[in-house]
Amino acid sequence: MMRIDRCHCFRITFAELKAVAEAAGVRDGGRLSAHVDFGRKCGLCRPYVRRMLRTGETVFHKVVTEADEPKPGPSGG
Ligand code: FES
């Protein structure tokens, strides 16, 4: 079964990103990126991080693309 649990480009897991988000009190990807490096290379992890922030999941077993997640709000996603 496929297992997607991290931003490969920046070598950081979604669980680690979630912990940073909780510690910083941020709930969107744009604000999270001010606290930790992820998502600025291939960008494939970004919709997973958005879903993680929305649902709390940190391990995914199917492909999640930008089209699968609600659009980011005015503050970025
Ligand atoms: S996997 Fe996160 S930027 Fe490539």
Q: Average of pLDDT values for 11-29?
A: 97
- Mapping DSSP to helix (H, G, I), strand (E, B) and coil, where does residue 6 land? strand
Residue 77 in domain: no
Residue 75 in domain: no
Distances (CA, A) of 66 to 24, 25, 38, 42, 60: 24, 24, 16, 13, 15
Q: Which atom of ligand 1 is least distant from the CA of 10?
A: 2
State how far the Cα of 31 lies from the Cα of 29, in Å rounded to an integer.
5
**pLDDT tens-digit series, residues 26-66:** 999 999 999 999 999 999 999 999 999 999 999 999 999 99
Q: Which two tokens stand for residue 70?
A: 């609600």
The enclosing H or E element of 13 equals strand 12-13
**pLDDT surpasses 60 at 77:** no
> What's the CA-to-centroid distance between 34 and ligand 1, angstroms?
16
Residue 54 in domain: yes
What is the number of structural domains in the chain?
1
Q: Which residues form the domain of 17?
A: 6-68
Between 40 and 74, residue with greater pLDDT: 40
Q: Which two tokens stand for residue 62?
A: 């199917």
Task: Write out residues with Cβ below 6 Å of ligand 1.
Answer: 7-10, 38-39, 41-45
**pLDDT surpasses 70 at 74:** no
> What's the CA-to-centroid distance between 74 and ligand 1, angstroms?
22
pLDDT attached to residue 44: 97
Residue 27 in domain: yes
